[in-house]
A = this chain, B = another copy of it.
Amino acid sequence: MEITNPHTKPVRVGSLEFGGPSFAVIAGPCSIESLEQCSQTADAVKKSGAVMLRGGMFKLRTNPETFQGMGSDAFSIVREVKAKTGLPFVSEITDPRQISDFIGLVDMFQVGSRNMHNYALLKELGQVQTPVMLKRGFSGLISEWLHSAEYLVKHGNPNVVLCERGIRTFETATRNTFDLNAIAFVKQNSHFPVIADPSHATGATSLVTPMALAAAAAGADGLIIEVHPNPAVALSDGFQALTPDLFESLMNRLERVLKALDRPLAKPLT
């Protein structure tokens, strides 16, 4: 690995910064399901301190018979919620041909775990300047993850934020194994900011809060958390979503832990 700069180079997303002194929390639904659901969630997470909105439009699902996301029908919902809340937005891109549609709509592209090795996609995202959140492949070596980041950088886009979201191991009591070692390792051995996704990494609502705090303590620069107004009826991954109340409680505990780590929580936009 050639990337060994011990000093993280922050990546800006509008007025936000990942990898700088403050700690940024992204939150929102796994999938955008309706204007009401998206808007309600965005209002709630903003109130509790989230500074960016997440929400899936094109979903990669193992089983072809399950909900595949609203697709382009979600575009107008996103525009309306962004306008109302002022929150920047991140969403997963699954095909290079979606790039032009996403420009202007997303403030950060998400490359999902299944696409960490999709070099065709990475090469094209290297040609835009919109930041990219690059999730670690669920079986990606740390060295491969950094090489995938280099694909983006080499093709012209240095605005890469890494995201650890759990890896596949023999353990099945949790959905994935949350590799927090990888966060501490990447902070020491690369210049990329790195955030953590405790929702996918645990796959269980009850584990999200302790593991979010653990990720912060391990040195993550931020979090991305799934929140749903009513997880029991979510169209995808409700078993790992926080309710708005649980999210608020998490943010309160997180702020205390961050203070003990001498790190402020990024302030909500005004």
Contacts and interface: CB of A to CB of B under 8 A. Distances in A.
B173 A170 contact: no
B178 A207 contact: no
Contact of A169 (B144, B169, B188): B169
Contact of A94 (B61, B120, B142, B177): B120
Interface stretch (A39-47, A101-109, A215-223): A215-223
A181 B154 contact: no
A171 B167 contact: yes
Contacts of A183: 210
Interface in A148-179: 150-151, 154, 167-174, 176-179
A7 to B, nearest CB: 15
The SS class assigned to the A binding surface is helix
Contacts of A174: 181-182, 185
A114 to B, nearest CB: 4
A60 B141 contact: no
A38 interface: no
Given A180-B180, A257-B260, A142 B171 contact: yes
Given A114-B117, A173-B141, A185 B207 contact: yes
A15 interface: no
Given A147-B63, A181-B211, A184-B207, A94 B119 contact: yes
Nearest to A216: B217
Interface string A47-88: 000000000000011111000000000000000000000000
Interface residues of A, number: 63
A147 B62 contact: yes
A168 B139 contact: yes
A138 interface: yes
21 contacts: A62-B144, A64-B151, A64-B154, A96-B97, A139-B139, A141-B172, A167-B170, A168-B170, A169-B177, A170-B170, A174-B182, A178-B179, A181-B201, A184-B210, A210-B219, A213-B261, A216-B217, A256-B260, A256-B261, A257-B257, A260-B260
Given A62-B117, A257-B257, 15 more contacts: A62-B143, A64-B150, A95-B120, A142-B173, A143-B173, A169-B169, A169-B179, A178-B180, A180-B180, A180-B211, A181-B202, A184-B211, A188-B207, A210-B219, A257-B261
